[in-house]
Amino acid sequence: MSLINGERETRDQLTGALTTTVFVQRIEELRTAHPGEPYTFVYILIPNFKSINRGFGYVSGNQFLQRFTELLEDCFAGQMVARESSHHFMVLDRDHSSAETLELLRECQAAVNRMKGGEHLLLNAGLVSGRLGELGEGDIYQNIDRARYACSYAERSHSRQFVVYGSDVQRRIDFELYLMREFFPAMERGDIQPFYQPEIRVLTEQCCGYEALARWVDPQYGLIAPDAFIPLLERELLIPQLDLHMIRQVCRDIRRNLDGGVITVPVSVNLSRVDFQVLDIFEEVEKIREEFNVPRYYLNIEITESAIAEGSVYMAPVIDRFRQVGYQVWMDDFGSGYSSLNTLQDFNFDVLKIDMGFLKKFRVNPKTSVIIREIVNLAKRMGLGSLAEGVETREQLEFLKECGCEKVQGYLFSKPLRVDRSDASGIPILMEEERCIPREKREESRYYKRIADVNFLSSSPMEEGLYLTANGLPIVIIEVIGGKRVNFLYSNDAYRRILRAAGIDDLEAANVRGNEENIPENHQYLELAARAEEIERVRGDILINGVIFKTDMMFLARKDDRAAFLNVVQNLSPNFNNAQVEAMSLAQEYILTEYFRVDLFNDDGTVVNVYLDADQSRITDEIDRAAPAVEQYASLYIRADEAGDFCDFYRIDTVLDRVRQIGEKHLTRFFHSADSTHNDELQCYTITPFRMGEKWKFLSTCRRLK
């Protein structure tokens, strides 16, 4: 563009568009020269322009702005085009109705998308129409403001690309002005207060925390939702005042709860990106917390993924500071943005709050359940807690439970609730439905956290670090209560299938049995559990209605008289039909009543215990070499004068020679037992060699003669 004399100051150096000052001056000249003429004033913005600078660098960004200016001048041929700042433009259209101007804007949009680098760019615009002669002193700037507002309204609405200024927009402006004016007085009057939404632990359906959500109870407008004032306060950089005001009230409520001696659960508060930009948010939160003497355990910090993605560098050290002193920091709306995984990689969190957008699509989009499951898996593998937001149906809850999601929040349990503070001396109690949801104690929270850390989706939920998805291993978590009762806390679908094969319909039915004393499998559970708690992990067979559950049991946690155990059940051949399974179980049952112990010796010198009744210890858990295991066994269970013979009898390397010598298929010998329950009983020990492929195996069975 060639600049004629004097144009240098009137035109923007980069793009050659008019400057704002000159643009306004020209309009002033026009309104006296052509007072009757209609005009449409257009304010245009490219909201995601920054992506060009970021993606291609400033030089490309500048070139883009130059080409965009030319494009505007082409589309709005003969009209005045000005650049207000960076990627904000203005046009005075004097030749078209506002409907036609809208059409031109749509053409601009299409042209931008044809430009190199402009494929993904979106325009927003605000329009104000009128007659030039009506523009009085100061009206031009006011109209720029109105168009700018209409434009930012379009930018925020996500559904409207171009907005024509009218009474609705003006109402919105007035409302926002009202909110700005009333913000501080409203806080002072106590009109802005936290409502509390319960967070529910999936395994127990108890309330294990609350999220504090801001509500503005206005004398004129009634209940104002945060969507109306939070983005506004963020734009105006006033959000720290709100957030600290909220934290102060939350701390006050927690203190009153603690003083009142009621069960008190942690409360999550929301922080904005701006909080990290304009003040030392860590110090401010600490000050308030100390003022009310609230332990950090009771306050969790929530930060949305998008706030972090935009904020980046300066937030990481502050987040770490919160965590170092003992706060939990939760990532809010996980999965809602473009950079969820980057954020997860670059920042440290304690809990992922899964964005409610996923659950909204849960029923209609089958991919969604895969994504949710993988987020839970991801959280567990990174050692993070998981909470799903927006749970509205039982179906959603059941699905999340199957995945092992730790906590949920949503209308299924409760909406955010008002606190009754009317009685100044009393403890604030939560109103309405909350009374039906029991609260979780602090010790319980630790106990269930340990249980929730188990990754039900892993193929090796007992080890750390190995990975395979939803492999269908049957998993059940049992609790032993008072050393007497068995409570089934969690099971996955694969487990419930085997349970049904054993004639037990569901977990509820299993729990009915678990509560009774004379059900045989309960003794087996209790015995295994007692040993698991001692040595952490044991293997054993549990016989339920004639079906063997080969169980790997791991101790998880204990709280008072309650202990939890993870059980992974070996899936017996799924190809068997029912009759076969039944016959097999009967055969097994016979073997197990006949023998009190079955072991398998391998020709590499190792031994595995196959079956064991309740009276002996396994031994092979600690010692898998045959010789020392046999010695240990002899010293525990064989009368001392026969112990040496016993060890010789169990020398596996000579078994084949010995059977050949006597021309039999197995070796049998009697020994006297020496343990307290079966002292001096005669017992029959048999070793049967057999070939499995290339290898020899030796089956040892032990029988009591009584």
Binding site for ligand C2E (CB under 6 A): 197, 213-214, 225-227, 230, 239, 242-243, 246, 270-272, 332-333, 356, 389-390, 392, 409-411, 416
Sole binder of Ca ion in the list 93, 302, 440, 541 (CB under 5 A): 302
SS3 content of the chain, % helix, strand, coil (to 5): 45, 25, 30
| Residue 411 binding result from Ca ion, ligand C2E, none, given CB thresholds of 5 to 8 Å by partner type | ligand C2E
Closest to 23 measured CA to CA, from 74, 75, 66, 79: 79
Smaller CB separation from ligand C2E, 253 or 552: 253
Binding of Ca ion by 332 (CB under 5 A): yes
Binding of Ca ion by 199 (CB under 5 A): no
State which H helix or E strand residue 614 sits in.
Answer: none
Say whether 197 sits in a helix, a strand or coil: strand
Smaller CB separation from Ca ion, 213 or 563: 213
Smaller CB separation from ligand C2E, 49 or 229: 229
| Residue 641 binding result from ligand C2E, Ca ion, none, given CB thresholds of 5 to 8 Å by partner type | none
Residue matched to tokens 């499998």: 521
| Residue 104 binding result from ligand C2E, Ca ion, none, given CB thresholds of 5 to 8 Å by partner type | none
The least CB distance from residue 453 to Ca ion, in Å, is 23
Smaller CB separation from Ca ion, 243 or 302: 302
Give Cα separations from 468 to 311, 455, 603 (angstroms).
34, 11, 32
| Residue 218 binding result from Ca ion, ligand C2E, none, given CB thresholds of 5 to 8 Å by partner type | none
| End-to-end Cα separation, the chain, in angstroms | 111
The least CB distance from residue 391 to ligand C2E, in Å, is 6
Tokens of 174: 């007035």
- Using CA atoms, how far apart are residues 468 and 460, in angstroms rounded to an integer? 8
The least CB distance from residue 424 to ligand C2E, in Å, is 24
- Using CA atoms, how far apart are residues 448 and 434, in angstroms rounded to an integer? 21
Left, alpha or beta for 637 (phi > 0: left; psi -120 to 50: alpha)? alpha
Smaller CB separation from ligand C2E, 165 or 330: 330
- Using CA atoms, how far apart are residues 163 and 231, in angstroms rounded to an integer? 19
| Residue 230 binding result from Ca ion, ligand C2E, none, given CB thresholds of 5 to 8 Å by partner type | ligand C2E
Tokens of 388: 């799903």
Number of chain residues interacting with Ca ion (CB under 5 A): 5
Smaller CB separation from ligand C2E, 150 or 246: 246
- Using CA atoms, how far apart are residues 348 and 337, in angstroms rounded to an integer? 17
The least CB distance from residue 273 to ligand C2E, in Å, is 9
606: Cβ contacts below 8 Å, ≥ 6 apart: 624, 625, 626
Considering only the stretches 86-94, 157-165, 332-340, 546-554, report the one whose residues sit in contact with Ca ion under the rule CB under 5 A: 332-340
Sheet holding 162-164, edge to edge: 80-85, 88-93, 38-45, 124-131, 162-164
Sole binder of Ca ion in the list 84, 253, 275, 333 (CB under 5 A): 333
Smaller CB separation from ligand C2E, 206 or 270: 270
* Residues 381-420 contacting Ca ion, CB under 5 A: 389
- Using CA atoms, how far apart are residues 36 and 4, in angstroms rounded to an integer? 31
* Residues 260-279 contacting Ca ion, CB under 5 A: 270
Smaller CB separation from ligand C2E, 182 or 541: 182
Count of CA atoms in the C-beta half-sphere (13 A) of 611: 21
The least CB distance from residue 302 to Ca ion, in Å, is 4
The least CB distance from residue 281 to Ca ion, in Å, is 16
Smaller CB separation from ligand C2E, 11 or 245: 245
The least CB distance from residue 352 to ligand C2E, in Å, is 13
Can you name the residues that pair with 164 across neighbouring β-strands?
A: 127
Considering only the stretches 123-131, 191-199, 298-306, 522-530, report the one whose residues sit in contact with Ca ion under the rule CB under 5 A: 298-306
- DSSP characters for 546-599? TEEEEEEEEEEEEETTEEEEEEEE----TT--HHHHHHHHHHHHHHHHH-SEEE
CB-nearest residue to ligand C2E: 410
- Using CA atoms, how far apart are residues 610 and 600, in angstroms rounded to an integer? 7
The least CB distance from residue 336 to ligand C2E, in Å, is 9
Residue ranges in contact with Ca ion by CB under 5 A: 270, 302, 332-333, 389
